[in-house]
Chain A
């Protein structure tokens, strides 16, 4: 709310409810930065103008690179193994995705 300010408890409760219900659209560069939920990322990769390091060396990676973006930086909403609890080592043989992607294990639930 920019033009109205709640000034009693009822109004505070309603405004809080409205904002929780509808959310607010906030640009990432705004200060203070908005809260974003875990699982999403501010890292744009593989890059458009720049890569994750801010340069251009990592642009135009092979599609295999996307796998790791699904895995941690959440670039593409695809299913990857549960690396936190059940399959922490699913990619241990694959040090470099572009080179070792054939070595990634399959995981059977």
Chain B
């Protein structure tokens, strides 16, 4: 007699309502008592069809579970809902990240560009020339295929150190995109030290997305984000940020916080950045580091972050139930992915639709890899080496990551950041095993929030239809 087994899934509930997140399809299903009963019984191991489908109703529920891949029959081929295979040719580009300069006027101790954990760099020019920036624009357009909406992101170093190239490049890119029947969008990351009224005006008028790197209130900001003489940067940037947020209303502006062992106070940082400075959203990222750095976050630190993320998530839910948005970007990003049912074959878009360009024009996997020698994917002056992209996509596919094979969050995490892995394990294809438990707990928390919102304010979730997957 044929046996039925339960597929991989994560169950969660809100009140009396029960849900399942299916792996690897990333479908979220609500279960009625009948289907729930079947899944509960399959928790003890495979069961014969006849015992599970003892009544016509149970048979009906079992059939539905099978149709959606929530159960399978032993020996039967898998239903075609698993991730797609490696593309034979790399997909067209949608995003280029330009490292417009490698210089920075700050000397943040944890910086992967300048600090102790930088990848080995070969000699390269420090600031991108206007010509290289234009070649980058042409490369993006030429490699974009049928993509109509393109994104040019500026990164550094400190991007505004090269404002004299940024500004004409945006004007040039907009003109060229229009000529080609495409639309191009801009974004930049800055430490805010060099913002002027004129720059802010330009950013606002041109709908440029702005992400400000800032670590929080003065004591945290000034602990790590310092000038080369050791002086803190908070007092300089606070008024500039306030002006930016007052004048630039055409795009929501976010803050990106690097968490280090210097101080983990997620709710405090969040309140400071949203309530006192006025940011729309705040995203938190633990510092990227090899082991042994004094600013690195240890296991206890990660537990603390998770606990504080949970507190902020509670605040998020309270807001959402009143249709008020609490700008906790990490949670919104995850809810967006859950809502859309994103099932990743790759950890991120690097190499897929996104590439990075070094100041000298060398193309790399992303902005974190550019100019690091053996990671080069060509040059904007001579063309992208697409064979390198195919090679990357073959090696980085989730199906190649045996460590991830039995993990229920693999379709959302897919192994994590390539650069983190490079720094930590010396191999960008290595899954980031040091935070697996953390990611699973965090994803479980996200699904819990999703369930609560499904139950109590499902209309709130509609706003995630448009949120870009990260």
Contact B35 A3, beta carbon cutoff 8 Å: yes
Q: Out of B68, B338, B340, B341, which one reaches A4, CB within 8 Å?
A: B68
B29 to chain A, nearest CB (A): 5
Contact A7-B81, Cβ < 8 Å, known A2-B60, A14-B27, A15-B68: no
Closest to A7 in B: B28
CA distance A2 to B56 in the complex (A): 13
Check A9–B339 contact: CB distance below 8 A: yes
The reply to whether B343 and A7 contact each other, CB–CB distance below 8 Å, is no
Taking a contact as CB atoms under 8 Å apart, the answer to whether B465 and A4 are in contact is no
Q: With contacts A3-B34, A3-B35, A4-B35 known, is A11 near B64, CB below 8 A? A: no
Does more than half of chain B's interface fall in helix, strand or loop, or is it mixed? mixed
Asked if A2 and B64 make an inter-chain contact with CB atoms under 8 angstroms apart, the answer reads yes
Bound-complex Cα distance A1 to B19 (A): 15
Cβ distance A18 to chain B, nearest Cβ, rounded Å: 6
Whether the pair A7, B465 counts as a contact (CB closer than 8 A) is no
B294-337 near A? 1/0 per residue, CB < 8 Å: 00000000000000000000000000000000000000000000
- Residues of A near B35 (CB, < 8 A) are 3-4
Interface residues of B in 1-55 (CB under 8 A from A): 19, 22, 25-32, 34-35
Chain B contacts for A14, CB-based, 8 A: 25, 27, 68, 81
**How distant is the Cα of A9 from the Cα of B465 in the complex, in angstroms?**
8
A14 vs B465: C-alpha distance when bound (angstroms): 17
Question: How many angstroms from the CA of A20 to the CA of B320 in the assembled complex?
Answer: 34
Contact A10 B32 (CB under 8 A): no
Question: Across the two chains, which residue of chain A brings its CB closest to B31?
Answer: A4
Assess whether B386 is interfacial by the CB under 8 Å rule.
no
* A66: min CB distance to chain B, Å: 39
- Using A3-B61, A3-B64 as known contacts, say yes or no to A10 and B30 having CB atoms under 8 A apart: no
Instruction: Give A11 Cβ to nearest chain B Cβ, in Å.
Output: 4
Say yes or no: B338 contacts A8, CB within 8 Å.
Answer: yes
Chain A proximity of B94: nearest CB distance (Å): 20
A8 B340 Cβ-Cβ under 8 A: yes
Docked complex Cα distance between A34 and B29 (Å): 26
Does B436 lie at the interface of the complex (its beta carbon under 8 Å from any beta carbon of A)?
no
Further 16 A-B residue pairs, CB within 8 A, beyond A6-B30, A9-B465, A14-B27 = A3-B35, A3-B60, A3-B64, A3-B65, A4-B31, A4-B64, A4-B65, A5-B30, A6-B28, A7-B28, A8-B339, A9-B341, A10-B28, A10-B342, A11-B27, A14-B81
Q: What are 14 A-B interface contacts by the 8 Å CB criterion? A: A3-B31, A3-B34, A3-B35, A4-B29, A4-B30, A4-B31, A4-B32, A6-B29, A8-B26, A8-B28, A9-B339, A9-B340, A11-B22, A11-B341
